[in-house]
Amino acid sequence: MTIPQSELRIEELELMKMPSMTYKIDFQKKRMSGMTDQLAAIKQAVFIILHTERFKHMIYSGHFGIELENLIGTNPIYVKSELARRITEALLQDDRITSIEEFQFDFNDHNVQVTFTVETEYGRFQEATEVN
């Protein structure tokens, strides 16, 4: 018995870019409300990534979310360097995001507020998150 040979060559395959169209989440009303695309869809994805602890929810792969819980209570200097790296690593999993830049940190009491710029293929925007 012989194994059938395929005549399809790899160089004939064409990569297709997937659309970024997704359901729009209304976080105030806690429901879906239509569809969103491009920069608005990326902003929504960034928000969800930054509010999903990595490896905590079985529904998401190990590539989705951010690891923040183990930063709580650690040295602020360590938090500053790790937070920038972890945010960048988490967000660059989305292939529509090209870079994360201009980190700014604001430490107060037991919290750190971090603001940064997300550069995407559709434009750029400011984002912020807080670690308690």
16 falls within a domain:
no
Give the pLDDT score at 11.
Answer: 65
44 falls within a domain:
yes
The pLDDT of 33-50, averaged and rounded, is 94
- Residue 61 is part of which domain span? 23-131
The pLDDT of 23-37, averaged and rounded, is 92
Round to whole Å and give the CA distance between 99 and 120.
Answer: 7
pLDDT in tens, 61-110: 888 999 988 888 888 888 888 999 999 999 999 999 999 999 999 998 87
Domain count, the chain: 1
